[in-house]
Amino acid sequence: MLVGKGNNGGDGLVAARHLHNWGADVRIMLSDREAIGQVPSRQLTAIEKAGVPVYGTGGSLAGFDLMVDSLLGYNSKGDPREPVRGMILNANTSGAPILAVDIPSGLDTTAGVPNDPCVVARATLTLGFPKTGFLNPRCRRYVGQLYLGDVSLPLEIYKKHSQSATLFEKELVVKIW
């Protein structure tokens, strides 16, 4: 699990907790413990209390069955900087399939173009709404299969975005492509 310092990293830590509770062998590689935000910090405390190992950026990415990318969120701009840059490059060359949380780290979600470097995900689970940049065909190489996850947004938010109803009926996850 590749975890950044912001809210996207917090999402990844929540996913790690669930995976750990379901019996998966989970290991966290944290980009910057000193700069972690308040909300992700609470998730980090919970994951450490559960006994999940947390490493800095120097850990090996070899031998994983699946890598989960929660390094950068949709507000990130420009090329990723160290240590995230190195983590993305290592993940892309690890040989493990990558599942991106919300966006592949390094992807400009407004324009749908990759920064340098950008995670090349096998699949992306985006949350709430699809990102406008996902309409750009150029991003598909980085997004992989695209799924939309329900995060229980109020109906008023959907209406504000010209949706008459939620995008979900019976499923919590909907495959987009």
Looking at residue 169, its pLDDT comes to: 75
* Identity at 157, one-letter amino acid code: I
pLDDT at 177 over 90: no
Token pair of 64 as six digits: 């994983």
Please report, as a single letter, which amino acid is at residue 100: A
Number of domains in the chain: 1
d(CA 14, CA 17): 5
Task: Note the pLDDT tens digit of each residue in 58-96.
Answer: 777 878 899 999 999 988 999 999 999 999 999 999 999
26 neighbors 68 (Cβ within 8 angstroms) = no
What is the rounded distance in angstroms from the CA atom of residue 135 to the CA atom of residue 130? 9
Residue 101: which H helix or E strand, with range? Answer: strand 98-101
CATH number for the domain spanning 112: value is 3.40.50.10260
CB-CB contact of 117 with 106 (8 Å) = yes
pLDDT at 120 over 80: yes
- The proportion of the chain whose per-residue pLDDT surpasses 90, expressed as a percent, equals 74
Per-residue DSSP letter, 81: P
pLDDT at residue 171 in the model = 82
Confidence of residue 57 (pLDDT cuts 50, 70, 90): confident
Asked whether the predicted pLDDT for residue 152 surpasses 90, the reply is no
Which of 42-46, 55-59, 70-74 comes out lowest in average pLDDT?
55-59
The 10 Å Cβ neighbour count of residue 151 is: 12
- Domain that residue 130 falls in: 2-175
Please give the backbone phi and psi of residue 60, each rounded to the nearest 5 degrees, phi first: -80, 145
Q: How confident is the model at residue 124 (pLDDT cuts 50, 70, 90)?
A: very high
Q: Which of 92, 97, 64, 95 is nearest to 80 (CA)?
A: 92
pLDDT at 175 over 90: no
Residue 10 has pLDDT above 80, yes or no: yes
